[in-house]
Amino acid sequence: MRDNINSNDLFNIRLNQFISVLVLLFVTSTLLADVFFISPDGDDNNSGETEKSPWKTFAYSLSEITSGDELVLLDGFYSSGAGTGGIHWDTKIYPDSGQIPSGLNLKQQTIVRAKNPGRVFVDVSLIIGRKNRKDSYIKIQGITFKGGHLYNSSYITIKDTGFSDRFVIGTNDHNYDNSYNLIEDVWVWASQRRIIAMNYRSNNNVWRRVVVRGDGCNMKQCTGSGNPNVGFTVYDSSDISVQNVIVIDRILRGGKGYADFATAQHTKEKNYLGRNEWLGIISVNSEDNAVVFEADNVIPDVFTWKIKNALVLDAKGGGIDIGNKPYNTVTENVIENSTVILSKGSRSDGIRLAPGQNVSLVSNNIVVNAGRFAINSASEFSHVITHNAQSAHYNQAKCTSGCYKVNPFNPILGIWGSELYEPTKIEESSRYKGKGKAGKDIGANIIYRYGVDGSRFGEDGFNKLTEKKLWPWPNEKVILNQMCLSRKSPVCLSTEISKNSKPSISNYINNYLKTHVLK
């Protein structure tokens, strides 16, 4: 029988056998992905295989697990002082620390998570990757760290996680891109830091539902010319999607002011800005400006900044300000369906597009209490509501259609609510519901989540407006329990008017007009 098999048939048989072995190895490697446990009360002589027999140090635990395994952190406080170390490369400063082995792919990620989210604290900064070490396919969930840095990374997921001393993606000592990372349901707060959260020289990342608070910085590096203080910035980066990110109650404490949200690009290298978007962002109670965007070099023939459904509440400076020249592009930037409410003492514009930005698209916006001009735009604009502008309602270009100089706080029909009863939505009974450009509302609606949960840049639905409710804010009880230990900012004291409820981010924002602007 064997003599009847020709060489081609024999080759195909052996090829199929080889493929079968590879499939078996793949399935086996998946089945061999194990779960291990670590605890501040553990011991590295334990098996690590059960909650009753956990390991103690990250150095030992992360050297024992392999790609695709899962390390579960039991409740407690982890630090070098406690003998556990952290997830960090520098074992001289942080003894007993180690680094996480990369996963195999997105379906076989190496996972490091808390058994009980919100009850695990690591008093060491999370560092993933080094200059000569690329880390990929790692998921971190449910842990609070003393700061964090994705230094040389790709396909990292940070979920349900807090950082008490800033969080950064990217670095300037290599060009390995730090790409396709997902930051989802995360909170970051810091004191004596000039920038609290940053996407730096890294591309194709998604920041989704992140809360940022800055507690001020009066140190030398935060004061004087060239040292602006920022909540969240996108620097030298492209293809960044910022979705439902909140910068809340940010203060300066003597630091040089800039903005809650910023961009910059000042290098001569190929780290150009382009195709970046801010969807459903919120700036609340800023001591300086809400949004200031600039760059020296941008990707030609594509938009640089796209802002949709942005909400500015009580910024002491200006609202939305886009840079001073067209750089090397003529493609339209976008500011649409945004609501900007400044403090009555503001000295700046509500929405400003500098003289070079003369082909941008500006429509369906509300501006109240501008310290100078409500709409100071080099581009023609349409469908805006403006009120209480100190200098004039419009400057530079003209309104082409659908512009109203009215008070959106006036009661509807003189008997109920207002156009902005809750700042995150335009009321169904509003006179300007559906009266904007293309039949849209005038003003911001931030009711639903942007982006399909878990989706990365470029994947299906990664930046779509979903039908999933945004409020109440995810993890808000844990966020406030942690943030309010360091400073009792206004969000820590907020209660809903109609209910004697505990402070919450959702109540604070949705009742802000009633409790802080219209009181």
In this predicted structure, what is the pLDDT of residue 17?
62
CA torsion through residues 88, 93, 94, 98, sign: positive
Q: Is the pLDDT of residue 2 over 50?
A: no
Lowest mean pLDDT among 24-33, 106-115, 348-357, 468-477: 24-33
Report angle CA 411, 417, 423 to the nearest 5 degrees.
110
Whole-number average pLDDT of the chain: 91
In this predicted structure, what is the pLDDT of residue 331?
78
Give mean pLDDT, residues 301-328: 90
- Kindly report, residue by residue over 180-191, the tens digit of the pLDDT: 999 999 999 999
In this predicted structure, what is the pLDDT of residue 418?
74
What CA–CA distance (Å, rounded) separates 214 from 166?
Answer: 9
3-state SS string for 138-155: EEEECCEECCEEECCEEE
What CA–CA distance (Å, rounded) separates 254 from 191?
Answer: 12
- Kindly report, residue by residue over 77-97, the tens digit of the pLDDT: 999 999 999 999 999 999 999
In this predicted structure, what is the pLDDT of residue 464?
98
- Kindly report, residue by residue over 366-399, the tens digit of the pLDDT: 999 999 999 999 999 999 999 999 999 999 999 9
Whether residue 153 contacts residue 181, with contact meaning beta carbons closer than 8 Å, is answered with yes
- First-to-last alpha carbon distance for the chain, in angstroms, is 94
Band of pLDDT at residue 431, cut at 50, 70 and 90: confident
In this predicted structure, what is the pLDDT of residue 416?
57
Whether residue 313 contacts residue 345, with contact meaning beta carbons closer than 8 Å, is answered with no
160 compared with 10, residue with greater pLDDT: 160
DSSP string, 243-281: ES-EEES-B-TTSPP-EEEEEE---SSS--BBSEEEES-
Q: Is the pLDDT of residue 329 over 80?
A: no
Report angle CA 329, 366, 206 to the nearest 5 degrees.
50
Q: Is the pLDDT of residue 321 over 60?
A: yes
Query: Alpha helices of 141-198 — where are they, by DSSP H?
Result: none
Lowest mean pLDDT among 1-15, 148-162, 341-355: 1-15
Per DSSP (E only), the strands in 302-442 are 305-308, 311-315, 320-322, 334-336, 339-342, 351-353, 361-368, 373-377, 381-387, 392-396, 404-405
In this predicted structure, what is the pLDDT of residue 516?
83
87 compared with 413, residue with greater pLDDT: 87
User: Which residues make Cβ contacts (< 8 Å) with residue 5, sequence separation at least 6?
Assistant: 13
Q: Which is nearest to 222 in space by CA: 248, 182, 243, 251?
A: 251
In this predicted structure, what is the pLDDT of residue 28?
47
In this predicted structure, what is the pLDDT of residue 414?
55
Whether residue 155 contacts residue 137, with contact meaning beta carbons closer than 8 Å, is answered with yes
Q: Is the pLDDT of residue 27 over 60?
A: no
In this predicted structure, what is the pLDDT of residue 6?
60
